[in-house]
Amino acid sequence: MSTGLFDISGKVALVTGGASGMGRMIAEGLLQAGAKVYITSRKPADCEAAAAEMSRIGTCIGIAADLDPPEAVVELANKIKALEDKLDILINNAGRTWGAPLESFPDKAWAPVMAVNVQGPFTLIRELLPLLKNSGADNSDNPARVINIGSLAGKAVEPLPAYSYVASKAAIHHLSRVLAAELAPDNITVNAVVPGYFPTKMTAHIRKEEDTSQEFLARVPLARYGTAEDIVGLCIFLSSRAGAYITGGEHIIDGGMFGCH
């Protein structure tokens, strides 16, 4: 086996929502593996602080960006294009959710969630296409990579009253397959990563109560939450030579919740 099979050193990556939560886990993992990483966050102070902290690991640059209006996504892409002539790895991780009972779930809960979770990734891919094509042109065995972070909630029926969120994640899973077919001739792979439950803000309400947490873990065949190493390992695999022949996939990483039932 080649020692460089999982090597991503020297690659340039963008991780949206990379200042906290799962995005932070992924960004730190890519940095530790030798990549140059751009991160985004809606809050400038958070973005600056996270980039400064992660710069102790490697080259990390923070760009404050609200990915709700399409114009802001285009602005983000333009900033990246002004700094780089190619982009090797694009990880669309930034997400938004909204929870409320069905009877009172508001119409206003749809547009912002779909904008960030579906339209934002699409617009960013479209706008960064020249940089992704430049990366893919370097080597047929080393395509540019797009990784869209989905959710188990968009693949399986989970007890979550987050209707716009689950619909948006199902949408990004399928959009990833459509874009994979579209971009394969340009030597760009597109995959969806489908996480189960990880220790992030979105699962804080589950982990807060010990009884609830234990009840939840009883539904996970591997009986634990995901870790940073779990999600980073999959992203590095998909971003390295080891994952160069994989595109259009939905890669479930949930401790067996979907596949074992």
Domain ranges of the chain: 12-251
- CA 47 to CA 256: how far, in whole Å? 33
Tens of pLDDT along 153-189?
999 999 889 999 999 999 999 999 999 999 999 999 9
CA separation for the pair 149, 18 (Å, rounded): 12
Q: In the numeric block, which tokens belong to residue 180? A: 């994979």
Q: Which residue has the tokens 């020692």?
A: 3
Residues of the chain predicted below pLDDT 50: 1
Looking at domain 12-251, does it have CATH number 3.30.43.10? no
pLDDT for the residue numbered 203: 60
Nearest to 235, CA basis, from 22, 4, 1, 19: 22
pLDDT score for 211: 61
C-beta separation of 234 from 157 below 8 A: no
Q: Are 15 and 29 in contact (CB under 8 A)?
A: no
Which pLDDT belongs to residue 1?
A: 45
CA distances 53 to 47, 50, 221, Å, are 10, 5, 35
> What amino acid positions are annotated as catalytic residues?
165
Give CA–CA dist 108/115, Å, rounded. 12
